[in-house]
Amino acid sequence: MATDISVPASLDHGTPGPGSAAGRNPWWRSGNIAYGLVGAVIGYSIGHFLGNWIASGYQQVQGSGQNDLALVLGYLVATLGWLAGLGALNYPLQKLVGIQVTSEESEDIEHRKLGAYFKYTLDHKVVGVQYLFGMLAYFIMAGLFALVIRSELLSATRHLLAPDKYLEVVGEHGTMMMMMMTSAILGPFGNYFVPLMIGARRMAYPRLEALSFWITPAAFVVLLSGLLVGGFPTGWTGYAPLSVEATMGQDAYLVAFGLMGISMIIGGFNIIATVVNYRAPGMTWMRLPLFVWAMFVTSLLMALAAPILVGGTYMTLMDRTVQTALFDVNHGGSSYLWQDLYWFFGHPEVYILALPGFGIALELLPVFARKPAFAYRTAVAGMVGVGMLSFFVWQHHLFASGMNSDMRPVIMLTTEMISFPTGIIYLTAIGTLWRARLRMTVPMLFIIGMLFNFLIGGISGVFLSDVPTDAVAHGTFFVMAHFHYTIMGGYMFAFFAGIYYWLPKMTGHQLSQRLGKWHFWVLFIAFNSTFLPLFAIGELGMPRRVFEYQRALQGLNDWVSISAYVIGIGILIFVYNFVKTVVIDPRTPLAADTWGSRGLEWFTSTPPVATNFVHIPEVVSGPYEYGSDAGPMAVLDAGATELRPGATVHEGN
């Protein structure tokens, strides 16, 4: 384990960095969003031209006018142009041709300046803030698509959209939520706080960290562009053979999902390397904060599962562009191959969403319960168990797809088994609440709401793990209600809890608690009012992805749609609170440690200095020993006996 963290010369407080007059790069070696957009346009033009030239003799192009190769190459070269314009390729290209690099390219010591957040920067705290704003934008856009869906379902017979357009909107909503939101917690909070929480000065691979974020805007734009070229009819699962036969909008789905897979791989690998190698002295594995454990296990899932997704999208693109037949039954392929590949990624991905939410819950509960985390080692074992078992349950998505019937009992057993480590994590959270002196702050309200929602999602999931029940409920709104309770009800509420809890540390500004409580109660009531009736709608036989339904179900659907609009109102309250506090009328918290946490992330200035810690702390106790006589969690060095001046550690109430 590392005892200190080496810092690049340009991060030393005594050395001028690239943002200063002495270290500023010339214009042709710097990068920003404007250059990135120019590079993307030039790249798309080059890629599209090459695709047209290569595929000019294809019968497919001559007969239908659909040139998937030109579009795919346009997307891929545009992404390279985008990254090149941002400056992401400067350092590796300079090293490749033997140019001596004397400063950290595009690194900005004064990371609190507004311009730093629009650049390719190597400061993990800047990247975390970039992720936060990016994920909020992606989430709001996906939510707008959801409102369009519910507007369509207000009537059983009158339609706002044509059938194909409705499927396009459903696909965009589901894909954006599942694709972009995989990084909604790991992106902003994992990148920002994991180094701080383990006492490190930076991430292990800063360039990979920055790259993992700047790929996501490219994937977002590519996915949205699918609407301009016919959309995709497959939904977020992209099932073959429809995915091979669909219009060019399917290319946008495949390229965007592939780009997000690459982002997940490099982001997960970076956090794994950071936690393994960059822990401060005394930060043993059993002293790691539970949030860091959740990020570590999630990163392992990303690094192992996402390559399967990237491989599957590549195979489908080959079928669509150069006429391979990997998923074409008529030419020796198999449509079931895509289902196995997709869900071998897709079910670990469910826990890529769930585990970070539990990590936030387990991290915040001891702070607001003012007592040690209940059964710390058991919670860690539960997270590791979920991670391991998540790779053994993917075929329960194929119960109704013609899978080998002999395999159904085995997959049913493993699916039911994974409820044990998940339940253990849940019970450790409940144990922390038991006989606690709770402080009902806004973050605490969202954590309690998350636990309530996840309980309903988990109980309904037990029914779907049983083959006979799943055969009846599969493809109905019952499954959608279960999924939204598990993921949206858990993940989204934890995401907002993290924002309210950590935003004071990230920006120095605390969101209004009064507006935060309005946000919680409107969102919590409207969420349950929206998705609880969907269990009944599903039991009454309404299928998913169909916009005509029995007239008898219109009353319930109207109730759900109106409730969905109220969810939108709750989100608008948050947006108003966020913009007012951070942009229009910022207010500084009363103390550097707003919540009285023992975590190392509160052991430095607010916002943290560029190097996180002036001196690397030595960890002398666990992070959750509230109400005990353990003293502070860390000291500045081996001989120090007190905290850095100005830092606070709150013991008990």
pLDDT tens-digit profile of 204-255? 999 999 999 999 999 999 999 999 998 999 999 999 999 998 999 999 999 9
Residue 18 has pLDDT above 50, yes or no: no
pLDDT tens-digit profile of 466-516? 899 998 898 899 999 999 999 899 999 999 999 999 998 988 888 999 999
Cα 544 from Cα 169, distance rounded (Å): 13
Q: Mean pLDDT score of the chain, rounded to an integer?
A: 86
Q: Please give the span between the terminal C-alpha atoms of the chain, in angstroms, as a whole number.
A: 34
Residue 2 has pLDDT above 60, yes or no: no
pLDDT tens-digit profile of 621-647? 888 988 766 566 766 654 333 333 333
DSSP string, 538-554: HHTTPBTT-S---GGGH
Q: Does an H or E element contain 574, and which?
A: helix 554-579
pLDDT tens-digit profile of 110-161? 445 677 788 898 999 999 999 999 999 999 999 999 999 999 999 988 889 9
Which residues make Cβ contacts (< 8 Å) with residue 458, sequence separation at least 6?
Answer: 419, 422, 423, 426, 486
Q: What is the pLDDT of residue 21?
A: 38
Domains of the chain by start residue, with CATH: 7-100 (no CATH), 127-584 (1.20.210.10)
For residue 298, the Cα-to-chain-centroid distance in whole angstroms is: 10
Residue 358 has pLDDT above 70, yes or no: yes
Higher pLDDT, 34 or 644: 34
Cα 510 from Cα 502, distance rounded (Å): 9
DSSP string, 89-100: THHHHHHHTTPP
Q: How confident is the model at residue 63 (pLDDT cuts 50, 70, 90)?
A: very low
| DSSP tag of 396 | G
Q: What is the pLDDT of residue 359?
A: 96
Residue 483 corresponds to which tokens in the numbers above?
A: 């999924």
Q: What is the pLDDT of residue 621?
A: 85
Residue 444 corresponds to which tokens in the numbers above?
A: 């605490």
Place of tokens 């409705």: 166
15: closest CA among 610, 618, 634? 610
Residue 6 has pLDDT above 70, yes or no: no
Q: Burial letters for 249-283: b for 16+ Cβ neighbours within 10 Å, e otherwise?
A: bbbbbbbbbbbbbbbbbbbbbbbbebbeebbbbbb
Name 604's bridge partners: none
Residue 10 has pLDDT above 60, yes or no: no
Q: How confident is the model at residue 586 (pLDDT cuts 50, 70, 90)?
A: low
Q: What is the pLDDT of residue 23?
A: 44
Q: What is the pLDDT of residue 625?
A: 87
594: closest CA among 439, 386, 421, 384? 439
- Mean pLDDT throughout 343-367? 94
Which residues make Cβ contacts (< 8 Å) with residue 342, sequence separation at least 6?
Answer: 237, 238, 239, 309, 312
Residue 565 corresponds to which tokens in the numbers above?
A: 């609009």
Residue 28 has pLDDT above 50, yes or no: no
Q: Does an H or E element contain 290, and which?
A: helix 290-321
Least confident of 365-374, 541-550, 556-565, 603-612: 603-612
Q: Burial letters for 543-578: b for 16+ Cβ neighbours within 10 Å, e otherwise?
A: ebeebebeeebeebbeebbebbebbbebbebbeebb
Alpha helices in 370-492 (DSSP H): 376-389, 408-417, 419-433, 442-464, 467-473, 477-483
Cα 11 from Cα 608, distance rounded (Å): 13
Cα 182 from Cα 653, distance rounded (Å): 36
Q: Does an H or E element contain 273, and which?
A: helix 249-277
Q: What is the pLDDT of residue 105?
A: 44
Q: What is the pLDDT of residue 610?
A: 85
Q: Do residues 23 and 103 lie in contact, with contact meaning Cβ atoms separated by under 8 Å?
A: yes
pTM for the model stands at 0.90
